[in-house]
């Protein structure tokens, strides 16, 4: 018998599960510092172009067909369109999932927030609905998942591929983690791969291994007079890719008939969980959550792309809220009399600007500046960095400009000269941080990873 999970219970379960992973993410501070004083109680108020994509089947009329199903799982089952795989690897992975009901419960609880949106987008594009289960394999539906190759979000984009699909990544946001932007990018990418190979199993292999690698494998089999389907190419694939489609098939089998495997899935209502709300000016993340009458963790579950304690961006920046909280947000915002944002930016013009001196200048503590900007202890800011600092006057009440701000730091150097200036480390090297470190990692990891990258 299926277990029905309320939206509030699902989000509570999700928060408890995300906490350990949030602590591991490199750009998530352990706390969310804010210059905002205790927020005032809210007044009581009544709660009042995919046309260019190649369609592989006629797109469903969402208002007629999709809503005939009682829940989202039914919609997914009815749209299965990728040929099945039936081999020992599928059996192995089905058995692995079937013996881990707690893992299934955690993953589906997270998925309950996002699946309606993902399935709806697939149906609009006429794509197989089992692709909605791919984040089950990629990230266990954790938007804060970060791989060793720096792949992020539920769809696990590495930085370079994210930029190829216009996913903005700067000091303030990482759209690889945003549900709307990353889903649009992932489905566009998957459709492109299908158009390239004419086969969904090969498209999935390319999503994991890289289209260049799949093309080379096809050419090798063609030269040898061998078939070029997924299973015929599997011997050439690395283990991760060889298991990729069988893992998705295993999840498909479980979703198709969970009772057969002694499992149950939460009933996910066949209606939108969240809605998008326009952000008209900079707003502190804590203030936005307060106005929506959500906890910060609940707010971040739907808006994981925002990396700093203030939400910046122009008119195209949106925040996601549960439907019942969106109206509360608008009502409370109209009655809000305090500042929406308590943060501004400061550009480091000299390497001699210390975090301690900046804290004194902006009437805060070094720890607040470090946490707001993810600056590790025992490191110093580099000239050219743009950092968040608390506003110290009403005249600074301008929105933070979108200028691809970056933060760079290096390890404090050991030793000082007689005049008190810090001397270089003995080995002449310094650990570069934030953007500089990420660039170095990405250059190294992208050369190693097979995920989402074209093979040379």
Question: What amino acid positions are annotated as catalytic residues?
Answer: 138
pLDDT of residue 420: 36
d(CA 251, CA 207): 18
List the single range of 29-38, 182-191, 341-350, 431-440 with lowest mean pLDDT.
Answer: 431-440
Residues 198 and 288 in one domain: no
**pLDDT reading at 456 higher than 50:** no
pLDDT of residue 245: 98
pLDDT of residue 34: 43
Share of the chain above pLDDT 70, in %: 72
- pLDDT bucket at 379, cuts 50 / 70 / 90: confident
List the single range of 46-55, 127-136, 375-384, 389-398 with lowest mean pLDDT.
Answer: 46-55
**pLDDT reading at 122 higher than 50:** yes
pLDDT of residue 65: 52
Torsion of CA 372, 377, 379, 380, to 10 degrees: 50
pLDDT of residue 399: 85
Residue 111 counted as domain residue = yes
**pLDDT reading at 114 higher than 50:** yes
- pLDDT bucket at 440, cuts 50 / 70 / 90: very low
Domain count, the chain: 3
Residues 163 and 217 in one domain: yes
List the single range of 4-18, 82-96, 311-325 with lowest mean pLDDT.
Answer: 4-18
pLDDT in tens, 12-56: 555 544 444 443 333 333 334 444 445 656 654 433 333 333 333
Answer yes or no: are the C-beta atoms of 121 and 185 closer than 8 Å: no
pLDDT of residue 350: 81
Residues 124 and 36 in one domain: yes
**pLDDT reading at 92 higher than 60:** yes
Domain boundary among 310, 334, 358: 334
Residues 372 and 253 in one domain: no
**pLDDT reading at 267 higher than 50:** yes
Residue 455 counted as domain residue = no
Residues 19 and 125 in one domain: yes
Residues 330 and 429 in one domain: no
Residues 317 and 347 in one domain: no
pLDDT of residue 76: 98
Residues 83 and 159 in one domain: yes
Residues 433 and 363 in one domain: yes
Domain hosting residue 110, numbered range = 7-268
Per-residue pLDDT, averaged over 219-247, amounts to 98
Residues 364 and 237 in one domain: no
pLDDT of residue 91: 98
pLDDT of residue 313: 83
pLDDT in tens, 334-366: 999 999 999 999 988 887 788 999 999 999 999
pLDDT, averaged across the chain:
81
CB neighbour class for 198 (10 Å; exposed up to 12, middle 13-18, buried from 19): exposed
CA distances from 68 to 60, 71, 77, 122, 387 (A): 12, 9, 13, 17, 50
- pLDDT bucket at 405, cuts 50 / 70 / 90: low
Residue 1 counted as domain residue = no
pLDDT of residue 386: 87
Residues 316 and 419 in one domain: no
pLDDT of residue 378: 82
CATH number, domain with residue 70: 1.10.530.10
pLDDT of residue 41: 61
**pLDDT reading at 190 higher than 60:** yes
Residue 171 counted as domain residue = yes
Residue 450 counted as domain residue = no
Domain boundary among 249, 268, 287: 268
- pLDDT bucket at 9, cuts 50 / 70 / 90: low
**pLDDT reading at 412 higher than 70:** no
Spell out the SS3 assignment of the chain. CCCECCHHHHHHHHHHHHHHHHHHCCCCCCCCCCCCCCCCCCCCCCCCCHHHCCCCCCCCCCCCCHHHCCEHHHHHHHCCCCCCCCCHHHHHHHHHHHCCHHHHHHHHHHHCCCHHHHHHHHHHHCCCHHHHHHHHHHCCCCCCCECCCCCECCCCECHHHHHHCCCCECCCEECCCCHHHHHHHHHHHHHHHHHHHCCHHHHHHHHHHCHHHHHHHHHHHHHCCCCCCHHHHHHHCCHHHHHHHHHHHHHHHHHHCHHHHCCCCCECECCCCEEEEECCCCEEHHHHHHHCCCCHHHHHHHCCCECCCEECCCCCCEEEEEHHHHHHHHHHHHCCCCCCCCEEEEECCCCCCCHHHHHHHCCCCHHHHHHHHCCCCCEEECCCCEEEEECCCHHHCCCCCCCCCCCCEEECCCCECCCCCECCCCCCCCCECHHHHHHHHHHHHHHHCCCCCCCC
Residues 59 and 192 in one domain: yes
List the single range of 105-114, 266-275, 297-306, 387-396 with lowest mean pLDDT.
Answer: 387-396
pLDDT of residue 385: 84
């Amino acid at each position: 018998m299926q277990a029905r999970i309320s939206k509030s219970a699902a989000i509570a379960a999700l928060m408890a599960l995300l906490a350990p992973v949030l602590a591991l993410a490199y750009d998530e501070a352990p706390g969310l510092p804010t210059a905002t004083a205790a927020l005032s109680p809210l007044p009581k108020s009544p709660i009042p172009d995919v046309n260019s994509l190649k369609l592989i089947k006629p797109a469903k009329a969402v208002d007629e067909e999709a809503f005939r199903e009682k829940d989202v799982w039914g919609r997914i089952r009815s749209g299965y369109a990728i040929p099945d795989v039936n081999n020992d690897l599928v059996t192995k992975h089905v058995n692995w999932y079937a013996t881990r009901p707690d893992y299934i419960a955690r993953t589906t609880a997270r998925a309950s927030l996002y699946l309606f949106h993902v399935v709806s987008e697939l149906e609009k594009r006429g794509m197989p609905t089992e692709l909605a289960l791919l984040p089950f394999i990629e990230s266990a539906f954790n938007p804060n998942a970060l791989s060793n190759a720096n792949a992020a979000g539920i769809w696990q984009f590495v930085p370079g591929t994210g930029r190829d699909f216009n996913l903005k990544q700067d000091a303030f946001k990482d759209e690889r983690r945003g549900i709307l932007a990353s889903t649009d990018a992932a489905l566009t990418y998957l459709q492109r791969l299908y158009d390239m190979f004419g086969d969904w199993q090969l498209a999935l292999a390319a999503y994991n291994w890289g289209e260049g690698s799949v093309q080379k494998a096809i050419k090798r089999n063609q030269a040898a007079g061998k078939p070029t389907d997924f299973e015929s190419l599997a011997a050439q694939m690395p283990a991760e890719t060889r298991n990729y489609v069988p893992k998705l098939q295993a999840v498909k089998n479980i979703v198709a008939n969970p009772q057969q495997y002694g499992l149950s899935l939460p009933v996910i209502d066949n209606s939108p969980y969240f809605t998008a709300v326009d952000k008209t000016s900079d707003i502190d993340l804590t203030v936005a959550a307060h106005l929506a009458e959500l906890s910060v963790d609940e707010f971040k579950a739907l808006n994981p792309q925002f990396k700093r304690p203030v939400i910046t961006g122009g008119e195209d920046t949106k925040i996601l809220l549960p439907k019942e909280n969106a109206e509360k947000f608008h009502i409370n915002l109209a009655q809000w009399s305090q500042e929406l944002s308590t943060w501004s930016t400061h550009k480091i013009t000299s390497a001699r600007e210390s975090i301690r001196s900046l804290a004194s200048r902006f009437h805060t503590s070094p720890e607040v500046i470090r946490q707001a900007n993810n600056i590790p202890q025992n490191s110093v800011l580099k000239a050219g960095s743009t950092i968040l600092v608390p506003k110290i006057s009403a005249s600074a009440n301008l929105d933070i400009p979108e200028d691809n701000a970056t933060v760079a730091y290096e390890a404090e150097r050991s030793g000082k000269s007689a005049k008190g200036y810090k001397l270089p480390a003995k080995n002449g090297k310094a650990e570069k941080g934030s953007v500089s470190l990420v660039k170095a990692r990405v250059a190294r990891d992208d050369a190693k990873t097979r995920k989402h990258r074209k093979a040379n």
